Amino acid sequence: MSGDLHVSTAVIVVAAGSGTRLGAALPKAFVDLAGQTLLERSLRSIILLPYPVQVVVVAPADFVQDAQAIVHKVAPGLESLVSVVTGGATRHDSVAAGLAVVDAGVQVVLVHDAARALTPTSVFADVDMAVQATGAGVIPALPVVDSLKQVDVTGGILGIADREQLRIAQTPQGFPRAELDAAYAAAGSADFTDDASVFAANGGVMTTIPGDEVAFKITTAWDLNRAHQVLGGIPDRHRVGTGIDVHAFGENENLWLAGLHWPGEKELSGHSDGDAVAHAICDALLSAAGLGDIGSRFGTDDPAYANASGEVFIRGTVALLEENGFDPINVSVQIVGNKPRFSPRREEAQNVLSSWVGAPVTVSATTTDGLGFTGRGEGIAAIATALVRQR
């Protein structure tokens, strides 16, 4: 598989876990962590090793193609070193599937849980070197800092466990390849909690080296939240968008602006009611959610929207956001024009628009001191900024 490249170490990345305790709708290795899946983050740590290693990703049958896409993204051009295989019903079966495709020349095998996505590259290197130096199985481990009690089935305390003799096991766990192959062959269909248990059950010698606090296993939603905090905080799911709309004045005195009817004021020309404020709000909301613009969503020439009110477009836009998992947080609109005189009806307009959007909408107005088409009284421009939150 690795061609003429000398590779003495392989890393099996187990990514076949269901993620049930995480509460995710997909296997946890494919859950997003600040813009990258757990599997992607694990692979990035491995390929930063200063020497080539064979990498075997063990994925669920339904996610093999997803894993291959992640491999191509993380390690383009390294197809000879990185492969994806289908996992088994248990972790034990999945590791066995990975072992089956490890190159014949590999002498050291590291087995790593993709759920330990923040494990530093240095831990992989330290485990590898320790296996080569000792010939034993090696586990990165942390000391236990909490006080531990031994209890009976009722919860009664029987005694105090000596935490000095206890360690928290992490991955990658490293092994001499030949001994690990023999241990898995001897284990048959027996299921073990980790590879060190398989190795030790066949007489293999195990030892530990210092682990790393950030190499914790992401198993629950709490763990995922902790991982976000380690990376610098929960990712910001707020999005900002801008919308601009311009309409010229027509001849009829039937103005609709900012959701209000303005008797005696000339209307704004357009296929619909020409409410530039409402249309700018729609564009800002759609832009923030990455859903295009009012023209692409509603059609500027669609007969269904002939003379349609601004309410129709805003409520339709909010419905689109809802369907795509976004909630409006607030919208700010600036009207640019000489007329109508807006300030007396500002609060009224804000209340109407806020009811349509389902979030606070603030509106202000300004002139251009006689400059441009708005200064000449030829039309009105509206500029909107929207803040939305992705659920």
Say how far apart CA 127 and CA 110 lie, in whole Å.
8
Report yes or no on 277 lying in a domain: yes
Average pLDDT over residues 16-34: 78
Q: What is the pLDDT of residue 190?
A: 72
Model confidence pLDDT, tens digit, residues 203-253: 999 999 999 999 999 988 899 989 988 888 656 678 999 999 999 999 888
158 pLDDT above the threshold of 90: no
**Maximum separation of any 2 CA atoms in the chain, in Å:** 95
Show which of 230, 263, 283 is a domain's final residue: 230
Q: What is the pLDDT of residue 23?
A: 66
Three-state secondary structure string covering the chain: CCCCCCCCEEEEEECCCCCCCCCCCCCHHHCEECCEEHHHHHHHHHHCCCCCCEEEEEECHHHHHHHHHHHHHHCCCCCCCEEEEECCCCHHHHHHHHHCCCCCCCCEEEEEECCCCCCCHHHHHHHHHHHHHHCCEEEEEEECCCCEEEECCCCCEEEEECHHHCEEECCCEEEEHHHHHHHHHHHCCCCCCCHHHHHHHCCCCEEEEECCHHHCCCCCHHHHHHHHHHCCCCCCCEEEEEEEEEEEECCCCEEEECCEEEECCCCECCCCCCCHHHHHHHHHHHHHHCCCCHHHHHCCCCHHHCCCCHHHHHHHHHHHHHHCCEEEEEEEEEEECCCCCCHHHHHHHHHHHHHHHCCCEEEEEECCCCCHHHHCCCEEEEEEEEEEEEC
Report yes or no on 2 lying in a domain: no
Q: What is the pLDDT of residue 151?
A: 87
Q: What is the pLDDT of residue 1?
A: 46
Indicate the range of 61-65, 74-78, 188-192 predicted with least confidence. Answer: 188-192
Minimal CA–CA distance to 135: which of 154, 110, 108, 160? 108
Q: What is the pLDDT of residue 236?
A: 67
Q: What is the pLDDT of residue 26?
A: 83
Residues 335 and 380 sit within 8 Å (Cβ to Cβ): yes
**Band (305; pLDDT cuts 50, 70, 90):** confident
Show which of 208, 230, 252 is a domain's final residue: 230
Q: What is the pLDDT of residue 233?
A: 65
Residue type, 218: I
In whole numbers, what is the pLDDT of the chain averaged over residues? 90
306 pLDDT above the threshold of 80: no
Average pLDDT over residues 41-68: 94
In this structure, what CATH number is given to the domain that contains residue 330? 3.30.1330.50
Q: What is the pLDDT of residue 66?
A: 94
Model confidence pLDDT, tens digit, residues 325-354: 899 999 999 999 999 999 999 999 999 999
Q: Which residue has the higher pLDDT, 152 or 3?
A: 152
Average pLDDT over residues 244-263: 93
**217 and 279 inside one domain:** no
Q: What is the pLDDT of residue 270?
A: 80
Q: What's the pTM? A: 0.61
Say how far apart CA 270 and CA 273 lie, in whole Å.
6
**341 and 246 inside one domain:** yes
CA 117 to chain centroid: 13
Q: What is the pLDDT of residue 199?
A: 95
Report yes or no on 143 lying in a domain: yes
Say how far apart CA 178 and CA 109 lie, in whole Å.
9
Q: What is the pLDDT of residue 186?
A: 93
Average pLDDT over residues 9-16: 95
**352 and 214 inside one domain:** no
Average pLDDT over residues 84-94: 91
Report yes or no on 183 lying in a domain: yes
Domain span at 340: 238-390
